[in-house]
Structure 1
C-alpha cells in the first residue's frame, strides 16, 4: 500500500487475507456459515490495513445497518415504478434508507451480482420488484440467508421465496364480472407480455371468470404494455369485427384502443365497452373516462416493508395478496341491442 493514497477497499482486504471477495463480504455481514478461523483472518486483515466501512462496521456491532436493498429491472412502466415509490415511502416511515440497484439483464448471474452488491453494503434485507419469472428463479437459487421479499404475482411460489403482490387474478375477475353484469356475453382480452407474471395472472383471472359465468372464452390477443400496440389491435378489431367489450391488460393499451375506435367512428361505450388496468394518473380524463382496476400501490409498499421487517425479526410473514379495486367510469355500458 506504500505510495497509494486511496483508502483500502474490500478487494485489498480479500488479497491480504488470501480469501475471496465474497468470503470477506460474508464476514462483514455476519453470515452464519463462516468458520471462526476465516473470520479471524478477515478481521486481522481489516485491522492491519485500516479498512473502514461505516455500514459494515455498524452492522457488525449492532446487527442493523438501517438500509434495505431494492432490485428493479429499470422499468419506466407505471406499475413497477409506482411500486418502488410506495416501498420508499413505507421504508422511510419505518426509519430505513433504500439502496436501489437495476438489473442489467434478467438472469440468475445478474441477480446474484446485485444481491452480492447488497451484501457488501450490509443491507438488512432486499425487496425484488420482479415482473419476470426468471427473476424469481434467480432469487430462489441465491441461498445466502439474506431476507428477500419478491413483489410478483406467482401462483405457486417456492417455499424459500416470500412474495407480496396485488391480487392480479382477482382484478381481472372483477373486470369480467362487471362486464357480464352489464349483459356482455364475451369479453375480449388484450393481454400484456407473456413473460410478465402480472400479465399471466390477469389472463388466468379473465379466462377463469369468463368460463365460470358462461361467457365465450377465446384466445387472448397478444400484446405488450404500449398504447401503440393497443392502437394497432384496435384497428385490427375494427377491420375484423368489433366485440361488445374489450379488457386491456393496462391503461396504455386501453388508450390505444380508444384512439383506434374513435378514428373508426365508433362511440365508446355505445358501440364497444373498454376497461383498463392500473388507474394511471389521467385515466379519469381519457375520452371517455376509463373504467379500470386500481392496485393501491401505497398500501402495497407498506405491506412489502412490513413483510420484510417481519422476516428480519423472525416473525411470520404475511404473504397474502392485496385486493385491488374496480374503478367504474363511463367507458363501459350495456351492449347495444
Structure 2
C-alpha cells in the first residue's frame, strides 16, 4: 500500500499583510535588494543582508516558492520516495532530506512503499508525478532500488540514498562511506592489540549490511588479522544477544564489530550474563551512534552516521541536476567515536 504526504509547510506561509515591499520598507532597502537576499542571487554587503534578514524575521515573511519557480523557470517541488522499514537510519535520513529541502525553500511531496518491487515503485511514482515535481529523492536500503528507478521514470533528475553506484547522468547516489568507516574500526582494534576480530553482520537484504561485511573482510585481510563473519538476521538487539550467547566461551574473539548499535547492545548483554567483561575480555563496536549509545554500560564505541549531512548533500545535488548538472556518486564520511566498550577507563 502506498501513502502520499505533501509537506506544504516547506514553502512557508506569510501573515496575510506581509509582502516583500514591507520587508524592504522595514530594512530601508529596495525591492530588488530584498529579492537578492531572499533568493540568494546577486551581491549585497554583509550589513545590508543582515538588515534584510532581521526584517524578514521580525515580520515573519516567507518567500513564495511557487512564484519563485515561475520566475526562474526551475520547478522547486521534488518528490521523496521512501522504500522499506522506517528504522533509525532510514527515518533519520527522511527527516534530514525534508529539513534540507525546507532550508532551500523547496517543496516536497513524499510517499512510502514497503518494498521496492517494480509494481510498488511505479505506483509510488505515479502518485508523485501527479504533483508535477522537477526531481526525485529516493531512500532505499537495497541495491535493486537503483535498477527500479531506471526502469520506472526515465531521465528525471534523481538522487538516491544508496550504497549502489550509478553511471547515469541524471542520477546521483549519496551514501555513508562504509569502506572508510570499517577501515577505522579495524585499524582501531588492531592498534589496541586485537588479532581475532568477528563481524556480526546485519540484515542480508540491506546493501549496507553486505557492504560493511565486504569492507570488514578486506580490511582484516590487509592488516594480517583473523577475521570471522557471524551472520545476523536482523538489525535488532535480539540478534546480537542470540549470536553472542551461542559463542564458545573458550574460544571468544578479541573483538566483535556489530552491524549497528542495537545489535551491539544485545551482544554486550549476552556477554555480561556469561561473565565476559567488556572491554577487558572482548571489545565491542557498534555502528550508528544512537543518542543512547553514550549511556550504555560500558559506553559504546561506534561509527557516527551524519544524517543531516546526507540530507543536505542529497538536496544540494538534486538542485544542481535540476539546473542542468550531471549525476555523481558521493560518499559522506562517518567518524569513529571511541568510548568505553573498546578502551577501559574511558569516561564520558
Answer yes or no: same fold by TM over 0.5: yes
Distance 1:295 1:287 in 2: 21
Count of aligned residue pairs for this structure pair: 279
Matched position secondary structure for 1:270 = coil
Match in the other structure for 2:117: 107
| Residue 76 of structure 2 corresponds to residue 80 of structure 1 | no
1:142: how far off? 2.1
1:223: how far off? 3.3
Query: For 1:5-154, what aligned pairs fall within 5 Å after superposition?
Result: 63-154=73-164
Distance 1:248 1:136 in 2: 27
Alignment match of 2:190 (pick from 180, 187, 205): 180
Q: Which has the higher strand share?
A: 2
Distance 1:286 1:108, change over 3 A: same
Q: Is the 8 A contact 1:132 1:196 kept in 2?
A: yes
Distance 2:229 2:93 in 1: 30
Match in the other structure for 2:166: 157
1:254: how far off? 0.2
Distance 2:84 2:288 in 1: 19
232-241 or 321-330, which deviates more: 232-241
Distance 1:316 1:158 in 2: 10
1:243: how far off? 1.3
Alignment match of 1:219 (pick from 201, 225, 229): 229
| Residue 231 of structure 2 corresponds to residue 235 of structure 1 | no
Distance 1:305 1:174, change over 3 A: same
1:204: how far off? 1.4
Distance 1:116 1:61 in 2: 27
283-292 or 109-118, which deviates more: 109-118
Matched position secondary structure for 2:97 = helix
1:220: how far off? 3.8
Match in the other structure for 1:15: none
1:59: how far off? 7.5
Structure 1 runs (4+) deviating above 4 angstroms are 55-65
Match in the other structure for 1:6: none
Q: Which ranges in structure 2 are unaligned for 5 or more consecutive residues?
A: 1-64
Question: TM-score, with normalisation over the residues of structure 1?
Answer: 0.77
Distance 1:100 1:64, change over 3 A: same
1:100: how far off? 1.3
Q: Is the 8 A contact 2:204 2:210 kept in 1?
A: yes
| Residue 203 of structure 2 corresponds to residue 193 of structure 1 | yes
Q: Is the 8 A contact 2:183 2:216 kept in 1?
A: yes
Match in the other structure for 2:285: 275
Matched position secondary structure for 1:320 = strand
Q: Residue deviations 1:251-290, cap 9 Å, x none?
A: 0100100110111112110111000000011100001000
Distance 1:113 1:141, change over 3 A: same
Distance 2:72 2:218 in 1: 50
1:319: how far off? 2.8
Matched position secondary structure for 1:192 = coil
1:193: how far off? 1.4
Distance 1:305 1:71, change over 3 A: same
Q: Which ranges in structure 1 are unaligned for 5 or more consecutive residues?
A: 1-54
Distance 2:132 2:70 in 1: 9
Match in the other structure for 1:249: 259
Distance 2:205 2:248 in 1: 28
Distance 1:59 1:94 in 2: 12
Distance 1:144 1:318 in 2: 17
Q: Residue deviations 1:1-41, cap 9 Å, x none?
A: xxxxxxxxxxxxxxxxxxxxxxxxxxxxxxxxxxxxxxxxx
Alignment RMSD: 2.3
Matched position secondary structure for 2:247 = helix
215-224 or 259-268, which deviates more: 215-224
